[in-house]
Amino acid sequence: MTPEIVVFGSMNMDLVVRVARAPRGGETLHGLSFFTNPGGKGANQAVACARQGARVAMVGCVGEDDFGKTLRNALAADGIDVAHVRAAEASTGVAVVMVDAEGENRITIVPGANDLLKAEPEAIEGQFLLLQCEVPMTEMVLAARAMRAKGATVVMNPAPVCRLPDELWSLIDILVMNEIEAAELAGRPVADPAGAAAAAYSLRRRGPSTAIVTLGSQGVVVADEAGCRHFPALAVRVVDTTAAGDTFIGALCAARVAGHSMDAAVMRGIQAATLCVTRVGAQASIPRLQELEDVQQVASPSALACP
Ligand code: RIB
């Protein structure tokens, strides 16, 4: 069956160390625990879409090694179509993830096979295409061009922050970023909802009809043709922020595919991300749709000045 959502992106094995605090330069510290967990921004977003009820296909590249098999099997176990996950002569991508006592993460990725991912413009079909910045930019442009021409909505998550070529800007429908990415792309500080609205509004001029900034405990800001608005966050004890942004995006896209309004989809995204940060790991922490029934409702958005 044709997928509703195609994710063209990275697949990493996360090597996670929990620490009381990050070591300083030249310092050695004892970690609290270590575990491995399937991750990668692309694969995490695919899992989030699938667990929120969407039909998903992953286009990715892993190595011919045990990590690669584990990552592919993990996606398949979530019902994701992995026919376009290729195995290449390279190591599977890894991410070294350090999570401190506040749940804050610091991530270093070694792309490996992700750098060999090729677009398959003829082969992929779907209503939504999700992109991030952990695979080659030229291939992302090819994928976006092909899917957009077939009528798909292109969702771009510029993470880790990257320079987007003009053609890609013109192909993006929905841009979703955190405050660091928004500040970098817009070239202005983003410290609060007003700053996020200014950045999102300015980035819409480059192509996307909708720009969304996630601000962690300060909520989410959306700028689109209806104006700028702020959605509050839900208060929660944060254990690990890894994959919170991926979960937000996956839940948002699955809700849009299911026919929900943008505001309802953002609220769904906030609920899913809230649950995600209460759990450890990347794909291990991504909730299913039914689990959101027990999460508090997100308050209605308030209007923000669009500069
Ligand atoms: O967004 C979180 C992800 O970033 C991790 O799973 C890691 O693999 C990196 O891609």
Residue 123 has pLDDT above 90, yes or no: no
At 97 the three-state DSSP class reads strand
Tell me: pLDDT of 121 over 90. no
Per-position b or e across 176-211, b if 16+ CB within 10 A of its CB: bbbbebbbbbbeeebeebebbbbbbbbbbebbbebb
Q: Show me where the domains of the chain are located.
A: 5-10+41-92+115-304
Structure confidence by residue, pLDDT tens digits, 241-291: 999 999 999 999 999 999 999 999 999 999 999 999 999 999 999 999 999
Confidence label for 307 from pLDDT (cuts 50, 70 and 90): confident
pTM reported for the whole predicted model: 0.97
Annotated catalytic residue: which of 78, 246, 263, 294?
246
Quote the pLDDT of residue 134.
98
Tens of pLDDT, residue by residue over 10-33, are 999 999 999 999 999 999 999 999
Position 122 pLDDT exceeds 90: no
Of 13, 14, 177, 240, the one to substitute when testing ligand 1's pocket (max ligand atoms within 8 A of C-beta) is 14
| Cis preceding-peptide flag for 160 (omega within 30 of 0) | yes
Ligand 1 atom closest to the Cα of residue 37 is 6
Q: Which residues share a beta bridge with 197?
A: none
Residue with the nearest Cα to atom 8 of ligand 1?
Answer: 40
pLDDT (tens digit per residue) in 225-251: 999 999 999 999 999 999 999 999 999
Residue 81 has what pLDDT?
97
Query: Is it the case that residue 120 has pLDDT exceeding 90?
Result: no
- Contacts with 243 (C-beta within 8 Å, 6 or more apart), sequence order: 39, 44, 48, 276, 281, 282, 283, 285, 286
Q: How far is CA 196 from CA 177, 213, 229, 235, in A?
A: 10, 6, 10, 20
**Ligand 1 close to Cβ of residue 38 (< 6 A):** no
The fold of the 5-10+41-92+115-304 domain, in CATH, is UDP-N-acetylmuramoyl-L-alanine:D-glutamate ligase (3.40.1190)
What's the 110 CA to ligand 1 centre distance in angstroms? 11
Verify whether residue 263 is a known catalytic residue. Answer: no
Tell me: the pLDDT tens digits for 188-223? 999 999 999 999 999 999 999 999 999 999 999 999
Average pLDDT over all residues of the chain: 97
Pocket test residue of 242, 276, 285 for ligand 1, highest count of atoms within 8 A of CB: 242
Report how far ligand 1's centroid is from the alpha carbon of 31 (Å). Answer: 20
